[in-house]
Structure 1
Amino acid sequence: MEKEEPGLRSEDSTPSGSDLDAVAAEVVQDFPDGSASWINSGHVQRMLRATEGDEELAVKKLKESVVWKRDTLDGWLDSQAESLPTAETRVIAIGKESRPLVYSGCVNQRRGEVAGIILACVWHKALEEAGPTAQLDYVLDAHGYQPLLNLNVMPYLNVAGSLNSYFAERFHRIVLLDMPTVMSVLMKAIIPILPQKTKEKLFFVRRDQPESLSALHDLCENQEMKGMLQQLLKMNGEATSSEGREETHRLTSDFLASQRARHARIIPEPE
Structure 2
Amino acid sequence: MQTLSISDDGVGVGQEEMERASGLGLHSLRHQASLLGGSCTVTRNALGGTRVAIRYRRGRTMNGKSSSPGRATQILIVDDHPIIREGMTHLLNLQGDLHVCGAAGRADEALGAMACQPDMAIVDISLQSDSGLDLVKTLRHRYPNLAILVLSMHDENLFAERALRAGANGYLMKLEATDHVVSAIREVLAGNIYLSAAMHEKLARALTVPRKKPEGPIASLSEREFEVLHLIGLGFSTREIAGKLNRSVKTIETHHANIKEKLNIRSGRELMRFAIQWIESQ
Settle same-fold status: TM greater than 0.5.
Answer: no
Q: Which has the higher strand share?
A: 2
TM-score by length of 2: 0.29
